[in-house]
Structure formats: structure tokens, C-alpha cells
Structure 1
Amino acid sequence: MITQSFLSSIEETNAATNSSNEVQIVQGKEPLKHILIGSSKAVTSTIYHFQVIGYADVGDWSPLLPSPNPGEVMSILNRPIVVQ
């Protein structure tokens, strides 16, 4: 149910990421997934902190998703990074 919904989202994200991997690797970038898991307040605060320091905009993160652990949520950011 909750886990299935999360796994379906991950599979869809992976399919979309896999289809664009060749372009990103050619450009010297590879996909990196960040996953934040914690209380709603902690995850939201961290997302806003990443925007303040210029790492990722708030809109780049997935909506808060329920975690398999009670009282926790998660959010995912897919971001290409330069790999040397």
C-alpha cells in the first residue's frame, strides 16, 4: 500500500532516469538520488536549507511521501552531478 506507492514512484523515476543516462554520461554527469527521511518538520527544514545554500530549489524535491515508519515522511531529489 504505502510501500507499494513509494516503490512504484521509484520504479517510474528509475525508468525516466535510465532513459536519459546516456546523455548525462556523455556530458560528464551521472544521476544522483538524494532521499531525506524523518519527521515532516525535519525534512521540510532540510529542503529549505538546501535552497538557502543554493544547492536545490524547493520545487526540485518530490512532495512529502509517507515513510514505512510511522511518523516519518520522505522526499526525493534526482540531480545530475559531475563525476571526475
Structure 2
Amino acid sequence: MVTNFLTDANQPDSSSVQVRTSTDPKSGREYVKVIVVGSLKGVGKIIHTLYRLGFAEVTEWSVPTPTKTPGEVMSVMRRCVLLD
């Protein structure tokens, strides 16, 4: 739902937020975030499937966090990739 992406009035104005770059131009590496959103059971299933495929360890994922949608959680992992 579109309203999930609206800014929160309690959050600082985007003009006052410092943005750190996720790319280190000297090393040619970049951090990429992978986000899984769904039911707790669905998110767990995807995380374990990605583990079995050799994509990421289960412990690399954040603790499932509830979203604004009832019954929905999200989990995030960060991966460093080498840019060509």
C-alpha cells in the first residue's frame, strides 16, 4: 500500500538527514541492502531458502521487525559487492 512509504511526522526532515554513501570509489565496492517483507513464516522461509542456495547465512539477517501493516514483518541484510 502506498501509505507505507509516506514519511512519518516524527522523523527528521529529509533535508536535515546526513546521507552516507554506500560506495567506496577507491575499492570499487558497494553495500547493497536486501529486504524481505511478508508474514513472519514467509520471511523465515525465504531466509532459509536463500541460506540453502548459499546466498547468505541466516545470522546475517536482521531480527524480523513489524511493519505498519498488521501481520507483516521485514528483515534486512547488507552485502558488500565488488563493482565491475
Per the TM superposition, whether the score is higher than 0.5 is yes
Tell me the distance in 2 between the aligned counterparts of 1:47 and 1:83. 25
Q: Residue 42 of structure 1 aligns to a residue in which SS?
A: helix
The total of aligned residue pairs comes to: 69
Percent same amino acid among aligned pairs?
33
**1:19 Cα shift?**
7.8
Structure 2 vs 1, CA of residues 80 and 35 (structure 1 numbering), >3 Å: closer, same or farther? Answer: same
Gaps of 5+ in 1: 8-13
Aligned to 1:47: 47
Aligned to 2:79: 79
Larger Rg: 2
Q: Residue 31 of structure 1 aligns to a residue in which SS?
A: strand
Structure with greater helix share of residues = 1
**1:27 Cα shift?**
2.4
TM-score, normalization: structure 1?
0.69
> Aligned ranges for residues 1-84 of structure 1 at < 5 Å?
18=20, 21-22=23-24, 25-84=25-84
**1:63 Cα shift?**
0.4
**1:28 Cα shift?**
2.0
Tell me the distance in 2 between the aligned counterparts of 1:77 and 1:37. 12
Tell me the distance in 1 between the aligned counterparts of 2:21 and 2:82. 18
Tell me the distance in 1 between the aligned counterparts of 2:21 and 2:81. 17
Tell me the distance in 2 between the aligned counterparts of 1:55 and 1:27. 22
